[in-house]
Amino acid sequence: MKKNNIFARIINKQIKSDILYQDDIITIFKDIFPKYPVHVLIVPNKKIKNLNAINNTNQNILNHMLIHTIKIAKKLKIHKTGYKVLINCNKGGGQEIPHLHIHLMGGVKK
Ligand code: 5GP
């Protein structure tokens, strides 16, 4: 039997993580190795390997991910100081986990 990737296990609550938001389409949780004071991951519940797998049929999921990226940035109060949004695609793009995710990083005061 194929083993679920780590994000699928977080979404299914088979392993513990700091989940900040979840609905039928996405799950948002804290990155285990934060690179910024605030570093969260916005992940589709349904397995989509990476950005290359987005098409006309599933683009609504990416849209939902982006809308909630902005909402969670506001909720975490990093929207005024500013934040960075990153999607790594495939190994050459720095993607380690083969399950589409948006990195939301911020909380730096300048
Ligand atoms: P990627 O390099 O694939 O774009 O990003 C994967 C991210 O997932 C990394 O920032 C890494 O710290 C995070 N990560 C890896 N394993 C876990 C885990 O078990 N739990 C959580 N919360 N984050 C993880």
Q: From ligand 1's centre to the CA of 14, what distance in Å?
A: 16
The model's pTM is 0.96
CATH number among 3.40.50.10440, 3.30.428.10, 3.30.590.20, 3.40.50.150, domain 6-106: 3.30.428.10
Q: Which residues pair with 103 in a beta bridge?
A: 41, 86
- Is residue 31 within 6 Å of ligand 1 at its C-beta? yes
Reported in sequence order, the residue ranges of the chain that DSSP labels E, i.e. its strands, are 19-22, 26-30, 38-44, 83-86, 102-106
- Given a cut of 70, whether residue 2 has pLDDT beyond it is no
Residue ranges per structural domain of the chain: 6-106
Considering the candidates 39, 68, 101, 103, report the single residue annotated as catalytic.
101
pLDDT tens digits for range 23-52: 999 999 999 999 999 999 999 999 999 999
Ligand 1 neighbourhood includes 33 CB (under 6 angstroms): yes
Is 101 part of the annotated catalytic residue set?
A: yes
Q: What is the pLDDT of residues 47-97, one digit of tens each?
A: 999 999 999 999 999 999 999 999 999 999 999 999 999 999 999 999 999
CB 73 within 8 A of CB 106: yes
